[in-house]
Structure 1
């Protein structure tokens, strides 16, 4: 199982990157850190700086065909920066176009809204995105993990770090098919 993790150069919630990354590794898979710029990304623990992580590929170097699925960690600043980068949005959309599964947690569905891929889908997120998801044509639910197959691919979403165990189990199972 090869999984792409897309994060902005700064702002991803560290645990929403490291726990899913470890879940892929524990399942015998290969995680790849993809970002909009080469170098390192700065993760955060809420509003405080946490560790940095080396970027494996930029969005210009990676393609959906190289991966079994895409993981979109949250944090408030991370998806907000990614949704403003047309290359990152195109990279996300390419997974939907290719029918590959996508997993997004917390605020990460902002990037899905920007990629115009939530219409007709049911998903969850951090509660503050509820109206954004509805306005984009999606159905928001308050569940630990939501697996939606109503579309060209499977979409797995969760609300927050407390949901990580269920989130990781769901996306690892889907990416392993």
Structure 2
């Protein structure tokens, strides 16, 4: 069986309010492709996932606090959505710096739904083409991005999708892009 992400380390950055399916499905996709994955968050312990923005779902154990994480330890980054999750993350200087470090190193970043808010805060969307949940699109345009309404967009190592309906395309794209990216 081919495992294109063997020996790849993937970080998922998420906080309370993360959309459960947008955390679980991409994580399962990269793990099935052979990657090891760590859940990075603002605090140790666990985070509360949601189904939508109002229905509590499962909790997930945090592997590392973002203030103690180094983007150099990972080959790629996944940022799941949910409106509350990226809003919490973008207010944390360590989370913003963590995302910016991936971009500065040319490592792929995958963001779905509301997650591009964190990319905007890290100032890495200017001049790129992205997609997102509709309510984030004006913010992307104001930050200098070109916005399209497509299920999955790949531009300069940034992979974006609109919502959970796009997860099949998003998961396939992240495995392919993460496998093609240089490591180290």
**Shorter-normalised TM range:** over 0.9
- Compute the TM-score of the two structures, normalised by the length of structure 1: 0.95
Q: Is 1:131 paired with 2:138?
A: yes
| Counterpart position of 2:49 | 43
SS at match of 2:17: strand
Q: Do residues 159 (structure 1) and 165 (structure 2) align?
A: no
TM-score by length of 2: 0.92
Q: Which residue of 1 aligns with 2:111?
A: 104
Counterpart of 2:5 in structure 1 is none
What's the counterpart of residue 13 of structure 2? 6
CA distance in 2, matches of 1:65, 1:173: 21
Secondary structure of the residue aligned to 2:58 is strand
Aligned pairs, number: 172
- Equivalent-residue separation in structure 2 for 1:83 and 1:155 (angstroms): 17
Q: 1:120 aligns with which of 127, 134, 151?
A: 127
Alpha-carbon offset, residue 61 of structure 1: 2.0
| Counterpart-to-counterpart distance in 2, 1:92 and 1:163 | 22
Q: Structure 1 segments of 4 or more deviating over 3 A?
A: none
Is 1:72 matched up with 2:106?
no
Give me the whole-angstrom Cα distance separating, in 1, the residues matched to 2:39 and 2:79: 11
2:34 aligns to what?
28
Q: Which residue of the other structure, out of 91, 102, 112, is the alignment partner of 1:95?
A: 102
- Aligned counterparts of 1:62 and 1:133: Cα–Cα separation in 2: 27
2:55 and 2:14 map into 1 onto residues whose CA distance is 17
Q: Secondary structure at the match of 2:97?
A: helix
Which of the numbers 41, 58, 62 marks the counterpart of 2:69?
62
Cα distance in structure 2, aligned partners of 1:29 and 1:91: 20
Q: Contact 1:64 / 1:100 at 8 angstroms: preserved in 2?
A: no
**Where does the alignment leave 5 or more consecutive residues of structure 2 unmatched?**
1-7
Write out per-residue CA displacement over residues 127-147 of structure 1, whole angstroms, 9 at most, x where no aligned residue.
111110000000000000000
